[in-house]
């Protein structure tokens, strides 16, 4: 994981994102899983949702630098796995890319 992604992980934790959202199905289940949010919705749309909120999700006060870090971390996670999956890949468990 790059240093910028590590900083993004810190932003994720400081803002308590895991209380409502999961990554690889681990975390809160009130909101959607965010494992592949970047490839599904793109970094721009994701940033807007984080900044202004949507539905029951409140707007977050995150500055541009923190947002860049957070998106870098979500991009790193997106590169790691596909989730959810219908079945495990042949020969092993897991959903690695």
Partner 1 sequence: MMEKLSGGPFIPMPNPAPVYIILSAIGFVFAAVIGLQGALKLVLPPEMTSWMAFELLRPMHTFLAMGAVLAGLFGLVEAILVKHTGKQGHPAFLILFATFLLVGPAALMMGQGTGREYFPAPLWVSAILLPVLFSQAWRLMSAHKMLTERSPEGFWLLGFGALFILLAWMESHLRLLEPLLYSFTRDLSVQWHAIDTMFAGMNTVLFGTVMFMMSARPKPLRPWVLFAISGFSVLLTFGHHHYVSAQPGMIKTLAVIASMVAILSLVRHFIAWRKAQGTSTNPSYLEPVLRSVEFWVIISVLSGVIFAIPQINLITHGTYLTLIHAMGSMIGVNFLIIVLGALAFSVSPETVRGERIQLGVRLTNWSLGGLWLVLGASGLVRGIMRIEHEYFEFQPIREAILVGFPVAGLVLSAGIWILCLEALRAQGLVLDRHGIKLRQSAH
Instruction: Tell which one of 49, 51, 68, 80 touches partner 1 (CB under 8 A).
Output: 80
Which of the residues 53 through 72 are near partner 1 (CB under 8 A)?
55-56, 58
Among 45, 48, 59, 84, binds partner 1 (CB under 8 A): 84
What totals of helices (H) and strands (E) does the chain contain, helices first?
3, 2
Residue 16 CA from chain centroid, whole number:
12
The CA R_g of the chain, rounded to the nearest whole Å, is 14
Scanning 22-30, 42-50, 64-72 for contacts with partner 1 by CB under 8 A, the matching segment is 22-30
Counting Cα atoms < 13 Å in the Cβ hemisphere of 22 gives 11
Instruction: State yes or no: residue 39 binds partner 1 (CB under 8 A).
Output: no
- Residues 16 and 3: their CA atoms lie apart, in Å, by 20
Binding site for partner 1 (CB under 8 A): 1, 6, 9, 12-20, 22, 24-33, 55-56, 58, 76-77, 80-81, 83-88, 92-96
């Amino acid at each position: 994981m790059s240093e910028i992604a590590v900083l993004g992980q810190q932003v994720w934790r400081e803002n308590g994102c895991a209380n409502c959202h999961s990554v690889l199905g681990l975390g809160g289940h009130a909101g959607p899983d965010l494992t592949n949010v970047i490839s599904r919705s793109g970094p721009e749309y994701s940033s807007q949702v984080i900044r202004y909120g949507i539905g029951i999700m409140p707007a977050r006060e995150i500055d541009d630098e923190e947002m860049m870090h957070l998106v870098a971390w979500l991009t790193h996670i997106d590169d790691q796995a596909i989730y959810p999956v219908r079945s495990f890949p042949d020969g092993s468990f897991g959903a690695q890319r």
